[in-house]
Structure 1
């Protein structure tokens, strides 16, 4: 992966760093939408987003398309792709693919979005039997907030793993049935160690874990 380009005099560095050096145009020589498009492409290629990124990112994320059912993600991605394509470097080798990956993934592949969108409930439970075979079964059940998606969607894999992307990766901590969730890759080791400590030992001993309430299964 390439390093995030250095900042210069309060502006983002050369627009030509966005692609192979076929453009000798600096972002500080661009104005209006082309400048915002170049800066947004650069900023959205990294998890490192300084204050200089704010105007272009505000413009990018303000682009939203709606249908009668609410936010239309497909149309929104198309509109955002169209905006990024107004950067002069957007037609250089590899850039159309990069812009497509950004438009599909930016804002939808960070831990906050993944944890919110795929939030669900898991269950920690065990059975108590009273009176032998003909007796009563009582379930002790504890709901657990969890995130059921533990593999990145394809569009996130493309966005995170692009050869020009820098420090965007996220990783899944834990298990879907036991309160798993997404974190930034730099936070993974500490988060996984904490999850292991919190979800092992006595906490897990003698318990079952599932994504369905065992009492519902028992009713059928």
Structure 2
């Protein structure tokens, strides 16, 4: 758990101005902000500021004529998170393991 929290803090400090101190809203489409919020959610933190990032992550869904495809959805979500250059691959894998195959919260 401590590793995830430390990774999330480093991610925020080094990579992305996800939550600006001057009151600006984070871009809900920023993969680094999404990783940061989901890493916090892994540890049980779920601030309201992250709701747009959760929505963006969960909006990535793959379907075919038979319905929802959890494996394809998981792959697409992982590809989106991997667009954050400073994201730890271990953290991304944990996020995908827990939330990647979900069709909704």
User: For the superposition of Structure 1 and Structure 2, which TM-score range results when normalised by the shorter chain?
Assistant: 0.5 to 0.7
Match of 1:76 in 2: 73
Which of 57, 68, 73 does residue 60 from structure 1 map onto?
57
Larger relative contact order (CA 8 Å, sep ≥ 6): 2
Q: CA RMSD in A?
A: 3.2
Equivalenced residue count is 93
User: Comparing both structures, which one devotes a greater share of its residues to helix?
Assistant: 2
Deviations 1:5-49 (A, max 9, x none): 8xxxxxxxxx76238x7x35422477563x3x2222122223211
Aligned pairs for 1:112-123 within 5 A: none
How much has 1:52 moved relative to structure 2?
0.2
- Report the structure number with the largest CA radius of gyration: 1
Q: Is 1:87 aligned to residue 87 of structure 2?
A: no
TM-score normalized by structure 2? Answer: 0.66
Give the gaps of 5 or more residues in structure 2.
Answer: 21-25
Aligned pairs for 1:187-198 within 5 A: none
Native 8 Å contact 2:37 2:54 kept in 1 = yes
TM-score normalized by structure 1? Answer: 0.35
Give the gaps of 5 or more residues in structure 1.
Answer: 6-14, 114-220
User: Comparing both structures, which one devotes a greater share of its residues to strand?
Assistant: 1
